[in-house]
Amino acid sequence: MKTATGTSFAKIILIGEHAVVYGQPAIALPVPTIQLTATVTPRADHAQRVRSSYYTGALAAAALPFAGITQLVAQMLTHFDATTQGFDLTITSALPPERGMGSSAATATAVIRALYAAFDAPLTRAALLEWAGVSERAIHGNPSGLDAATTSATVPQWFVKGHAPEPIAFPTRGTLVIADTGVRGQTKAAVAQVAAALQADPARVTPLITGIGAAVKRAAHALATSDLVALGASLNASQQALATLGVSSPALERLITAARQAGALGAKLTGSGQGGCMIALAADGAHADRLIAALTDAGATSVWRHDFDESEGHA
Ligand code: MEV
């Protein structure tokens, strides 16, 4: 093993969360301005230690959700025939944890990249996503794979569970404002809640899930034709379905209402909900500044801005 570093990005689900677990498409984008880095440094002894803002200590002693990374690293060390190798794993992240920005998948992505580089092994995208599934399953129970597909990408992704993610072009116009409620989201609980609702009342819940899928397809068409008004309408339609599924929250609704009152073309939660972040679509940069002010006034604890022309895959 040699010292090596892996990086990954925050992710934003533009549209399709939750329904994606049931085979509907989703569109998500990496946010390259919000980065995570994992550095692995070999030690002379056999200790395996982690240093991060989320957890610091012996890798084996971490509790969930970080224990997902413990399981991932243990399986990777077996793969590399290096189970007794000592190391320090240092994670530096600008992502807020448990806010729907993909912090667990971004951690897994960067750790996988760092370990492959540390063992001088080539890493395919398919293998990376396979490995990320180990920690994501431990943390979330039934992940679609969307988060890892996006935190490991450099351009926006069209994603269908069980299929290789595909790049999707974004227009050059349009800006997303991302705002944090400051409340932790609980991906596992939110995913389990939708599963329980589907099981209890499939006749009511199935149309909500297929309705989100239909909104995702309208959003893809709106992106392809640079129709920001239609894109905003599809975001609003998906928020309505997500709220009916029970994964919104009063803090999210407060920010979504504030954004719409400030003229957002569309606004919705992003990620698993029940806390975490929301997104609002602005027509242009000046409008985004007004949305940022409105969301800050409404109590957002952090606000970020992502111009579509930063998305590289733009049309
Ligand atoms: C979480 O970021 C996204 C969900 O759709 C779960 C998943 O796709 O695994 C809620």
pLDDT tens digits for range 140-176:
888 999 999 999 999 999 999 999 999 999 998 999 9
- Choose one of 11, 12, 18 to mutate for the ligand 1 pocket test, by most ligand atoms within 8 angstroms of C-beta: 18
Give, using CA atoms, the residue closest to atom 8 of ligand 1: 144
Residue 61, C-beta contacts closer than 8 angstroms, at least 6 positions apart:
none
Q: How far is the CA of 209 from the centre of ligand 1 (A)?
A: 13
Question: CB under 6 Å to ligand 1: residues?
Answer: 13, 17-18, 20-21, 100, 140, 143-144, 146-147, 187, 191, 271-272
Question: 93-148, pLDDT tens digit by residue?
Answer: 998 888 889 999 999 999 999 999 999 999 999 999 999 999 999 998 889 999 99
Residue 292 has pLDDT above 90, yes or no: yes
So what's the pLDDT on residue 164?
A: 94
Q: pLDDT: is 233 or 186 the higher one?
A: 233
Give residue limits of the domains in the chain. 4-159, 169-310
- Where do we find the tokens 């990408």? 153
Q: Looking at residues 205-223, what average pLDDT do you find?
A: 98
Cα-to-centroid distance, 45 and ligand 1 (Å)? 39
Nearest atom (ligand 1) to Cα of 13: 2
Helix H or strand E segment including 106: helix 103-118
**Ligand 1 atom with least separation from CA of 142:** 9
Length of the chain: 315
pLDDT digits (tens, 9 = 90+) for 245-290: 999 999 999 999 999 999 999 999 999 999 999 999 999 999 999 9
Beta bridge partners of 44: none
Q: Which atom of ligand 1 is nearest to the CA of 272?
A: 10
Residue type, 121: A
* pLDDT given at position 114: 98
Give which of 227, 294, 308, 223 is closest to 256, Cα–Cα. 294
Correct CATH for 4-159 of 3.40.190.10, 3.60.10.10, 3.30.470.20, 3.30.230.10: 3.30.230.10
Average pLDDT over residues 54-65: 92
Global confidence as pTM: 0.95
Q: List C-alpha distances in Å: 253 to 45, 181, 246, 274.
A: 51, 10, 12, 10
Fold of 169-310: Alpha-Beta Plaits (3.30.70)
pLDDT band at 208 (very low <50, low <70, confident <90, very high): very high
Is the predicted pLDDT of residue 315 greater than 80, yes or no?
A: no
pLDDT score of 100:
86
| 181 alpha carbon – ligand 1 mean position (Å) | 18
How many Å lie between the centroid of ligand 1 and the Cα of residue 85? Answer: 33
The predicted-structure confidence for 293-313, as pLDDT tens digits, reads as follows 999 999 999 999 999 988 876
**Which of 9, 11, 15, 17 is the pocket-test mutation for ligand 1 (most atoms within 8 Å of CB)?**
17
Helix axes 103-118, 67-79, angle to 10 degrees: 20
Residue to mutate (ligand 1; options 159, 216, 272, 278; most atoms within 8 A of CB): 272
Which ligand 1 atom lies nearest to the CA of residue 18?
5
Computed over every residue of the chain, the mean pLDDT equals 95
CA 105 to ligand 1: nearest atom: 2
Task: From 14, 136, 140, give the residue whose CB has the most ligand 1 atoms within 8 Å, as the site to mutate.
Answer: 140
> How many angstroms separate the CA atoms of 62 and 55, rounded?
7
Task: For residues 146 and 13, give the distance between their C-alpha atoms in angstroms, rounded to a whole number.
Answer: 9
Distances (CA, A) of 169 to 117, 158, 236, 286, 314: 30, 9, 21, 23, 5
Q: What is the mean pLDDT of residues 43-62?
A: 95
* Confidence category of residue 60, pLDDT binned at 50, 70, 90: very high
Same fold yes or no, 4-159 and 169-310: no
Which pLDDT score is estimated for 314?
A: 63
Task: Specify the DSSP element, H or E, that contains 57.
Answer: strand 56-58
